[in-house]
Structure 1
Amino acid sequence: MSEDAIRENIVRWGKSLFDRGLTAGSSGNISARVDGGYLATPTNSCLGFLDPARLSRLDAAGNHVSGDPPTKELPLHFAFYEGRKCGAVVHLHSTYATALSCLSDTDPADAITPITPYVVMRVGRVPVVRYTRPGSAEIRPLIAPLIPDHSAVLLENHGPIVSAATLDGAVYAIEELEEAAKLALLLRDLPVRRLPQSAVDDLNATFKLR
């Protein structure tokens, strides 16, 4: 896909996520690999009103080279780019996943209970990363050890961040994570039938998310 097409895709998905209430105001950010570097949504920008020409262009080292100044959350994104062979990263403040990140009894090793096959297929196991100030470089070493085995993490009291080979794939995954978080909260304190480990193993082997 050409850089122009990737720019248009970022704008298209940003508007879709905003219009559906998956991130509000100027929250959330998107990035994608392009030849020679990266594109990222600008700081303090609303995902619903992005301009493809004003997206932040970064070189291969992450230095800002053109467009508006990039999101302050770049340390989150580059933790994934450095640790996985991914083509895009999406971070939102979606309601249910963020609510799950605020609950003190959310399992830090596996925030999303595998009760449907789709969260296993598209997201996998989601660890919780302890709170740091948004935009702080302190998040990078906390995420780095998790990245080789996880395509997504939940930031404590903050929200989800997901990576995938393509931007479309990253959006589908973060949408699935949000739906799984919604189900987890709706079914909280009810007798839930989890997927058996044998089913989880079969899904992981079949779809090879990792």
Structure 2
Amino acid sequence: MNEGQARKEIATIAKSIFDRGLTHGSTGNISLKLSDGWLVTPTGSSMGTLEPEQISKLDWEGNLLSGNAPSKEAPLHLAVYEERPSSNAIVHLHSSCSVALSLIEDLDEHDLIPPLTAYYAMRVGKLPLVPYFAPGDKALAETVRRFSGKHHAMLLAHHGPVVAGSSLSAAVDATEELEATAKLFLSVYHHRYKSLTSDEVKELRDKYPIKA
């Protein structure tokens, strides 16, 4: 995929995410690796109206090469790429159910959602909670770096999910699965519920390993 195609893919997916209410206003950001740098959605932009030429192109030191000024979360994306060389795309949203999940006390901060469905186990796996830092804080990027060595998906407290994937479509699929499962978990949280067994989860992960 060349740069022009990559820019169009980001803009198309961004609009789809916005139109379906998975993010709002000027929240969230998407990035994608290129052969000569990487693309990230620009600061202050709405995913619903993003034009391909507005998307920021950066080098691997974080310097702007073209497009508008990058998202203030660009250091977060860069930290994930540095820790996960196999990842080629990252999606970060402020999706409502996932954010709500990050506010609940007494959940397992190492793995917030039990394996309620096969597709959650296949596409997300474990979901740790990253402690709260203000958006754009350097400490947030460095904390995400520590988590991303072991996890391709994580939830920022009071903020939203960060999900890396081997492709943009894989990262988006996993992000949508996370949001759907967060909504499901919130609906059964105060009830008795069944999750997949550890053996069932192992079988799924052995058969369908996460590529991120």
Per the normalisation by structure 2, the TM-score is: 0.96
Q: Distance in 2 between matches of 1:160 and 1:105?
A: 19
User: Partners of 1:163 and 1:13 in 2: how far apart?
Assistant: 15
Task: Compute the displacement of 1:124 (Å).
Answer: 1.2
Q: 1:180 is paired with a residue of what secondary structure?
A: helix
Structure 1 residue identity aligned to 2:160: G
Q: d(CA) in 1 for partners of 2:29 and 2:40?
A: 7
**Aligned ranges 1:45-194 → 2 under 5 Å:** 45-84=45-84, 85-194=86-195
- Secondary structure in structure 1 of the residue aligned to 2:164: strand
Shift of 1:77: 0.9
| C-alpha deviation, 1:54, in angstroms | 1.3
Q: Name the count of aligned residue pairs.
A: 210
- Does the aligned pair in 2 maintain the 1:126–1:154 contact within 8 Å? yes
How far does the alpha carbon of each residue in 1:188-207 deviate from its partner, in whole angstroms, 9 at most, with x for none?
A: 11111110000111111111
Cα-to-partner distance string for 1:92-123 (whole Å, 9 max, x where unaligned): 00010010011122321001211101111111
Q: Is the 8 A contact 2:129 2:156 kept in 1?
A: yes
Provide the C-alpha distance between the structure 2 equivalents of 1:76 and 1:141, rounded to a whole number of angstroms: 7
Q: How much has 1:30 moved relative to structure 2?
A: 0.4
Q: 2:196 matched to which residue of 1?
A: 195
Q: For residue 46 of structure 1, give the secondary structure of its aligned residue in structure 2.
A: coil
Q: CA RMSD in A?
A: 1.0
Query: Alpha-carbon deviations, 1:19-49, whole Å to 9, x = none?
Result: 0000000000000001110101000000011
Large movers: runs of 4+ above 6 Å: none
Distance 1:63 1:22 in 2: 29
Q: Find the aligned partners of 2:82 and 2:105 in 1 and give their Cα distance.
A: 30
Aligned to 2:18: 18
Mind listing any 5+ residue stretches in structure 2 that lack a counterpart?
Answer: none
Displacement after TM superposition at 1:131 (Å): 0.1
SS of 1:160's partner is strand
CA distance in 2, matches of 1:119, 1:149: 17
Q: Distance in 1 between matches of 2:150 and 2:9?
A: 27
Letter in 1 for 2:20: R
Q: Secondary structure at the match of 1:57?
A: strand
Q: Percent identity, aligned pairs only?
A: 44
Shift of 1:145: 2.4
Amino acid at match of 1:102: L
- Deviation of 1:57 after TM superposition, in Å, equals 0.7
Instruction: State how far apart, in whole Å, the 1-side matches of 2:57 and 2:129 are.
Output: 30
